[in-house]
Chain A
Amino acid sequence: MKLLEHEAKDILRARGVAVPPSGGVIAKPAQVAAALKRAGKAPWVLKAQVLAGGRGKAGGIKLAKTPKEAAALAKAMIGMDLITHQTHGQAIKVRELLIEGGVKIERELYFSVVMDRKAAAPTIIASAQGGMEIETLAAEKPESIVRLTVDPTSGLRDFAGRRLAFALGVPADRVGAFVATAKALVKAFLELDCSMLEINPLILTPKGVMALDAKVITDDNALFRQPELAKKTDHEASALELEAKKADISYVGLDGTIGCMVNGAGLAMGTMDTIALAGGSPANFLDVGGTADEARVTKALGIILKDKKVKAVLINIFGGIVKCDMIAAGVVGALKKIKLKVPLVVRLQGTNVAAGKDILAKSGIAIIQADELWDAAKKAVEAAR
């Protein structure tokens, strides 16, 4: 789950990381005056609370020197459509602004902690060149990037923090503050089961070290032991994705026209790829799971059909432990409850496949059957035209 900047900063502040003075989050221009008061003296910074990076360049971060200017900016920014280089050409509606007091920036550093798959440990990636995107930095100034693997049990040691500080050229009078901040950030990463924690920029102020921005992604698998995170809304997920999640169905909405229902994440991806290869475009990723009974099939089909872009549905099930006849009965049962207005292609394979196909054929429901995945994909693409 991705956290918004203000959520991430609240979490970090509570763990001893310095962040700019906060005036809180506002959703209406009328709330601006009170927020400015809470944030302290001018100037102030108004920051759009969206998940995409690259907000500054796209006009999602603005500086106000007077309350009047702040009010005008708030009015313009709330409700604006933000397109950054990370939104893939789509606009994101700005609903909330974070208001902060301005701070003196002496230098900008880049600091992040990511889970390194290969080292099987969190790894700090840092650079003396802050403010730039890490991808740009890696491409243009790879020599400026410092990497440090952290033991996932003990966290960041003081000496390792000092090494990092000196490698980044942190002045001696702020090395102590840098080490304390770096340790707190690593501790937060471990305590919150993060998969990424990025501070860009981490700034040197005349007196200390401060996180000017914060991007946090947490591990969904660990939500059972993260009560603080479990209460939060997943801002990235669409209404349909949240509905699917509640039913324990793994669903990701896409732009295409062929709705898919598949058992298993890998086969679900493979089915999407096959549809694309056959000249169509998948409307979603959907893993119905290992127990595809009637209730789950009904729920999954309902979610797929709520997407109005869907022109045809492809169900691809490889019956292993799940038996094809059970799934066929589930599909038939689901179609008694849901009126299907688009063509349905079903491909069953594996355990009890003959019995499954028989159930579908005898149901009297218009179902296009296919034996092989390639044939099924072609039929679905044809049906969606």
Chain B
Amino acid sequence: MSIILDKNSKIVVQGFTGSAGTFHAKQCIDYGTQIVAGVTPGRGGQTHLDRPVFNTVHDAVRETGANVSLIFVPAPFAADSILEAADAGCATIICITEGIPVLDMARVKRALIASAQAGREITLVGPNCPGVITPGQCKAGIMPGFIHKPGPIGVVSRSGTLTYEAVDQLTKRGLGQSTVVGIGGDPINGSSFTDILTKFEADPATEAVVMIGEIGGSAEEEAARFFKEKMTKPVFGFIAGKAAPEGRRMGHAGAIVEGGAGTHASKIAAMRAAGVTVVENLSEIGETVARARKPLAA
């Protein structure tokens, strides 16, 4: 098993015919992912990458049975695209788009919360994220497929290339991954660390989790609390941004220490206190997991 995606996931790509959508959809198809349709308003009826193009997500879902949406729509229109996918019945939505206004995401998030309260749970991953990959089964995102391999380690991260770095270290030490989830670098995102940890805890194929956080917000602190109260599987945590000054945004809109909150020190302290294995040196993530697992294998 795995979380969020498996070999049966049927994906519709929103923003399919744009340059980013085209390039990455092709990479996903080459990986073996079932991309079943694309959506570009006004280009319905055409064929692109040998897949049918529809005007609306509703049409795509009805005609192809797609259950996951992968979004590459430009930032000004991306929030609306997320709501369209949700309205069309996609239970899983992965939004790659970077630069969506925070207020747009606040409105999206509240719509998703209202939907869940009404009994229809939707998993949104992102925005501003590399996507989700279940190695060997399904890749829905922009991550390089070849650095991954199937295995027992779940990975969840706020960053893109930092995740690749960690995955590469794991794979090179023979540690494959169950699913790798990039939750994105924005202040308001769909799935939190806690949401993904909940799924990994319930997934029989996941034996341990690597969690890569960064400065800003309190998602890592909340995840630490969840780990302490609800998790039985080991978690290895790394937090980026120790050398970052306060009050300056470090690329990601969410990576900013404001009013003394969201500091590297507070996150590390919260994880330590909860019993998460903290990795201080980015280069030692793979090594630390490998060392901890050796006694189990022996």
Contact = CB atoms under 8 A, between A and B. Distances in A.
Interface of A: 88, 115, 117-118, 120-122, 134-135, 151-153, 190, 193, 195-196, 219-222, 224-225, 250, 252, 254, 262-277, 281-282, 285, 287, 290, 318-321, 349-351, 372-374, 377
Contacts of B244: 269, 272, 285
Contacts of A271: 282
B283 A287 contact: no
20 contacts: A117-B188, A135-B259, A224-B75, A252-B249, A254-B243, A264-B159, A265-B251, A266-B252, A267-B159, A270-B165, A270-B240, A272-B242, A272-B243, A272-B244, A273-B241, A276-B243, A320-B144, A320-B164, A349-B165, A374-B283
Contacts of B102: 115, 193, 195, 219, 221-222
Interface in B111-125: 113
B101 A373 contact: no
Given A265-B185, A266-B163, A273 B240 contact: yes
Contact of B255 (A263, A265, A276, A282): A265
Given A120-B106, A195-B102, A372-B283, A266 B240 contact: yes
A287 B240 contact: no
A319 B142 CA distance: 12
B160 A264 contact: yes
Contact of B147 (A135, A219, A220, A350): A350
B76 A225 contact: yes
Contacts of A267: 159-162, 164-165
A265 to B, nearest CB: 3
* 8 nearest A-B pairs in the assembled complex, by CB-CB distance: A266-B159, A265-B251, A264-B161, A266-B162, A120-B109, A374-B283, A222-B101, A320-B144
Nearest to A150: B106
Given A222-B103, A225-B101, A277-B280, A266 B185 contact: yes
Contact of A152 (B107, B187, B281): B107
Contacts of A266: 157-163, 185, 212, 214, 240, 251-252, 255
Contacts of A117: 187-188, 217-219, 254
Contacts of A252: 245, 248-250
B144 A350 contact: yes
A350 to B, nearest CB: 6
A274 B246 CA distance: 18
B80 interface: no
A247 to B, nearest CB: 14
Contact of A373 (B142, B163, B283): B283
B260 interface: yes
Chief secondary structure at chain A's binding surface: mixed
Contacts of A221: 75, 99-102, 253
A115 B103 CA distance: 8
B180 interface: no
A38 B103 CA distance: 38
B142 A269 contact: no
Contacts of B207: none
Given A254-B245, A266-B252, A273-B243, 20 more contacts: A88-B245, A115-B106, A135-B259, A152-B106, A193-B102, A221-B99, A221-B253, A252-B245, A254-B243, A265-B252, A265-B255, A266-B157, A266-B240, A267-B164, A269-B251, A271-B282, A275-B243, A318-B161, A320-B143, A373-B165
Contacts of A88: 245-246
B157 A320 contact: no
A135 B24 CA distance: 45
Nearest to A219: B102
Interface string B116-148: 000000000000000000000000001110110
A266 B76 CA distance: 24
Nearest to A223: B101
B196 to A, nearest CB: 16
Interface in B213-245: 214-215, 217-219, 222, 238, 240-245
B282 A274 contact: yes
B27 interface: yes
A188 to B, nearest CB: 13
A120 B160 contact: no
A281 to B, nearest CB: 8
Contact of B188 (A115, A263, A268): A115
Nearest to B282: A270
